Chains A and B, each alone.
Chain A
Amino acid sequence: MNDDILTLNELKKYFFKKDGFFSLQQSVVKAVDGVNLSIKRGETLGLVGESGCGKSTLGRLILKLEEPTAGRICFEGEDVTACSKKKMRSLRKEMQIIFQDPYSSLNPRKTIGKIIEEPFIIHGIGDRKQRKEKVKKLLDLVGLRPEYIDRYPHEFSGGQRQRIGIARAISLHPKLIIADEPVSALDVSIQAQVLNLLYALQEEFHLTYLFIAHDLSVVKFVSDRVAVMYLGRIVELAKSTKIYNNSLHPYTEALLSAVPVPDPTMKKKRIILEGDPPNPIDPPSGCYFHTRCMYKMNICDKEYPPIKEVEKGHFVACHIRC
């Protein structure tokens, strides 16, 4: 287990919402509902699922931007959920995040030099001159001109802003980076550039990525392993090639059939899921997916299927397939 950089153990995040001012009842949104997951050092783990399935919340939980309701997060054997504030501050150096929206992730009142310099100030690294040098190096590293150091975020395009966000994330040489849909707000042509940059940085600094996305073709390109999430739970986890060639969970199958293929002559069988994803306040009984599943059996609405390892490294939670 030593090559696991991060282990999540029965991680849960519930949001409570009072039904009304006078009501004593609360509804519970189970955004993340008992996730077990481990990320290996140096790999890229793709995390996919439709909107609202809890993938971003999971990323934020790992960084302790949100407090988990239950469960454990172990980073390099250290229990993040239980550690002190001081310990947490130094742990933050090791984990960073890249946000989805490059327009809201940079403080509009600060120059990009100040934005990238801030992690060094917070952790008391170097004097002013050294820090400036480091910032220039980082800008160069992410493919921006070091002369841009005194410009404000609004003077940059979306792709450039995302590069600034990446420079800030890697400034402290973290070991783990949570990339929360880092390219879904960008143009396709820019997406490729940013993905290549992320890949190059991973090679150079031996980074581990948790790559959250809803675009399966992007995930296929970057990930070593892929985890599929549905309504706060992981339903399938396998090597990237396995997922794309031999997916077992019906939900994964449906997701994959929805990936557009840039070839107009190719006829593809699309699996169209009926209905919306169930309301997470009131998830269906049994397997959460049975309401939309095309292979539904009797047992499906009675029991939640346990996640099983069907072959080495390929985990599925489905009654039909294992």
Chain B
Amino acid sequence: MDIEKSRKLKKETPGLLFWRRFKKNILGISGGIIVLLLFFVAISAPYTSPYDPNEIDIKSSLQAPSKDHLLGTDQLGRDVLSRMIWGSRISLLVGFVAVGIATVIGIFFGALAGFYGKWIDSLIMRFVDVMLCFPTFFLILAVIAILEPNIWNIMAVIGVTSWMGVTRLIRAEILSLKERDFVKAARAMGARDIRLIFLHILPNALSPIWVSVTLGVAAAILTESALSFLGIGVQPPTPSWGNILTAGKDNIEIAWWLSLYPGLAILITVLGYNLLGEGLRDAIDPRLKT
């Protein structure tokens, strides 16, 4: 019995070890469930939304939540639930694409700075410092004011202004990894830099990135909502939680449901991602024993 047990333990891959730690974390798991649910909602939007999100029905405008319209209707008589379900797609899309852009840029610069060091490192890291000096949100506002405010521009701008954390993370990881013997061994075999970076160093440097991606998605969703709320994000009639909220604030005295539900949705989503991110961090952080 004992032998079998120890045998099982020995077969544990780093992934399994991570999962064993992660599943003990109730908050992390609940964050994960929220995130999965949101994914499900976003993907199945065409089937789960009861109405066409853009179907205008002036006669039934600003109806309170009822059997027909579970979350009520807005001032043009559109079903709020349907609009929110479709809006979740926007949030997800913005969250992941923006963070994807940020992560790719961050890994690229971080790898360059960490691996080559010297003046390349100084140059990139000083540039990071400069980027961090800008109040990001106002930078985004300024850029969006010049560019056309559409969803692709928003994703690009959020991505381009949030890669600095990833760069620092990756650089620090690489600085320590490149001194490890297995990297030296690969170099001694004649491996080129590209091979060293992509096959030996980066796969070992990525685990902390998952945490920053998850937390980054939450931040990006929040930024998108804020931009849409200010009217320079996703433009109506395309539904997004931010612009539903804007529409709601004009009628908040007579139609509270218009502001409450998108607000709650944003809150729960961001909370979910943050919990998941914290959970991942706790599971990864006591460094994997190699």
What residues make up the interface of A, taking CB atoms closer than 8 Å to B? 60, 63, 65, 88-90, 92-93, 95-97, 99-101, 103-109, 118-119, 122-123, 152-155, 165, 168, 172
A122 with B204, Cβ < 8 A, contacts A108-B290, A153-B290 known: no
Interchain nearest-CB distance for A58 vs B (Å):
15
Once bound together, how far apart are the Cα atoms of A152 and B11, in whole Å?
Answer: 9
Residues of A within 8 A of B184 (CB): 60, 65, 97, 99
A165→B290 contact, CB < 8 A: no
A122→B180 contact, CB < 8 A: no
Q: Which residue of B lies closest to A153 (CB)?
A: B290
Q: Which of B1-45 contact A (CB under 8 A)?
A: 10-11, 13-14
What residues make up the interface of B, taking CB atoms closer than 8 Å to A? 10-11, 13-14, 180-182, 184-191, 195, 200, 203-204, 288-290
Once bound together, how far apart are the Cα atoms of A152 and B187, in whole Å?
Answer: 21
B182→A107 contact, CB < 8 A: yes
Residues of A within 8 A of B188 (CB): 63, 65, 92, 95-97
Interchain nearest-CB distance for B205 vs A (Å):
10
Interchain nearest-CB distance for B209 vs A (Å):
14
B195→A104 contact, CB < 8 A: no
Interchain nearest-CB distance for A51 vs B (Å):
17
Our count of residue pairs bridging A and B at CB distance below 8 angstroms stands at 65
Interchain nearest-CB distance for B241 vs A (Å):
39
Once bound together, how far apart are the Cα atoms of A225 and B228, in whole Å?
Answer: 77
Interchain nearest-CB distance for B6 vs A (Å):
12
Once bound together, how far apart are the Cα atoms of A90 and B204, in whole Å?
Answer: 28
Residues of B within 8 A of A95 (CB): 188
Most A C-beta atoms less than 10 A away, residue of B181, B195, B290: B181
Once bound together, how far apart are the Cα atoms of A63 and B191, in whole Å?
Answer: 13
| A-B CB contact pairs (8 Å), 14 listed | A60-B184, A65-B188, A97-B184, A101-B181, A103-B290, A107-B182, A108-B288, A118-B189, A118-B191, A119-B189, A123-B190, A155-B10, A168-B189, A172-B189
Once bound together, how far apart are the Cα atoms of A105 and B187, in whole Å?
Answer: 12
A104 with B180, Cβ < 8 A, contacts A65-B188, A97-B188 known: yes
B190→A107 contact, CB < 8 A: no
Once bound together, how far apart are the Cα atoms of A57 and B180, in whole Å?
Answer: 15
Residues of B within 8 A of A172 (CB): 189
Residues of A within 8 A of B191 (CB): 118, 122
B185→A109 contact, CB < 8 A: no
B187→A65 contact, CB < 8 A: yes
Interchain nearest-CB distance for B120 vs A (Å):
17
Since A65-B187, A172-B189 are in contact, a sample of 13 more A-B pairs with Cβ atoms closer than 8 Å, ordered by chain A residue number, is A92-B190, A95-B188, A97-B184, A97-B188, A99-B184, A100-B181, A106-B182, A107-B182, A108-B14, A109-B203, A119-B190, A122-B189, A168-B185
A104 with B190, Cβ < 8 A, contacts A155-B10, A155-B11 known: no
Residues of A within 8 A of B289 (CB): 154
Once bound together, how far apart are the Cα atoms of A101 and B14, in whole Å?
Answer: 20
Interchain nearest-CB distance for A254 vs B (Å):
31
Interchain nearest-CB distance for A178 vs B (Å):
9
Contact of B189 among A92, A100, A108 (CB under 8 A): A92
4 interchain residue pairs of minimum CB distance? A105-B181, A92-B190, A108-B290, A99-B181
Once bound together, how far apart are the Cα atoms of A19 and B288, in whole Å?
Answer: 36
Residues of A within 8 A of B185 (CB): 97, 99, 105, 165, 168
Q: Which residue of A lies closest to B289 (CB)?
A: A154
Once bound together, how far apart are the Cα atoms of A100 and B11, in whole Å?
Answer: 25
Interchain nearest-CB distance for B54 vs A (Å):
48
Residues of B within 8 A of A122 (CB): 189-191, 195
Once bound together, how far apart are the Cα atoms of A105 and B180, in whole Å?
Answer: 7
Once bound together, how far apart are the Cα atoms of A105 and B188, in whole Å?
Answer: 12
